[in-house]
Structure 1
Amino acid sequence: MPHLVLEYSGNARERFDPAALFAELHTELAAAGGFRVQDFKSRAVRMDHYFIGDGTREQSFVNLDVRTFGGKSPEARAAISQAALAVVSRAFAETLRETACDVSVQITELDRPSFSRTRSEDQDSRVPA
């Protein structure tokens, strides 16, 4: 935890390197939110099927959903959101200049009791014969 899900419209101008963008986000958000860099799980999804507004002009979007467990103060959530917005806005600067673009960041708080997972280190390392 946290999970970062970056969705962006297929008309984004940038051909960015997701690994480089996520490396920067992990560093910035670890500092802003007290996360451990090794705990981030991130993915980027290009959306080729979308419709924005009335469709009469070229519009685009970039949205980063930061999914984490609840418990952070409103000030901490705001700091995380603003740090992420700065990084993502720089990464999509060309799209912001050339299209009617909305870049947004949201913090989604997960309910800890309803979250389940298993990890490799939790698995029995013995393989049945």
Structure 2
Amino acid sequence: MPHCVVEYSQNLEQEVPPADLLEAVKEACIASTLFSVEDIKLRSLPYKSFLTGGKEDAFIHVTLRVLSGRTVEQRKQLSDLVLEGLTQFPLKDVSFSVEVCEMERDTYVKRVVLSQ
């Protein structure tokens, strides 16, 4: 935990490699001290088609899905750290947003299937 999903307008790939965006989010998660490195899951989704206010405005949106039980202050610190990490890239005319969503501990299930 957490599951970190980085959504971004595909035109940004020319300026910042997606792996760099993922690394920035990972480093922010580590800096929060809420998670161990091996528990952080990251993935990215580029969008070829996108509109904001009727225009193709570049964006980066990060959703962090975490198990319930963390305080509002902890979740706010996490979103602030992620936003700070993303805004370190030399990007202009880009909308950045971060949200932290809680997953209910009682209903979250997981199974890892390994090869024999």
Give the CA deviation at 1:33.
4.1
2-structure distance, mates of 1:33, 1:71: 15
What fraction of aligned residue pairs are identical, expressed as a percent?
25
Question: What letter matches 1:64 in structure 2?
Answer: V
**Counterpart selection for 1:104 from 74, 97, 103:** 97
State the TM-score, normalized to the length of structure 1. Answer: 0.77
Are 1:26 and 2:32 counterparts? no
Structure with max Cα Rg: 1
1-structure distance, mates of 2:74, 2:16: 31
Structure that is richer in helix per residue? 1
How many residue pairs match? The answer is 115
Moved segments of 4+, more than 4 Å: none
2:81 is matched with which residue? 83
Q: Is the 8 A contact 1:70 1:111 kept in 2?
A: yes
- Structure 2 residues without counterparts, runs of 5 or longer: none
Q: Is the 8 A contact 2:31 2:81 kept in 1?
A: no
1-structure distance, mates of 2:96, 2:63: 11
Give the CA deviation at 1:112.
1.7
2:66 is matched with which residue? 68
Give the CA deviation at 1:11.
2.4
- RMSD across aligned positions (CA): 2.0
State the TM-score, normalized to the length of structure 2. Answer: 0.85
Give the CA deviation at 1:21.
3.6
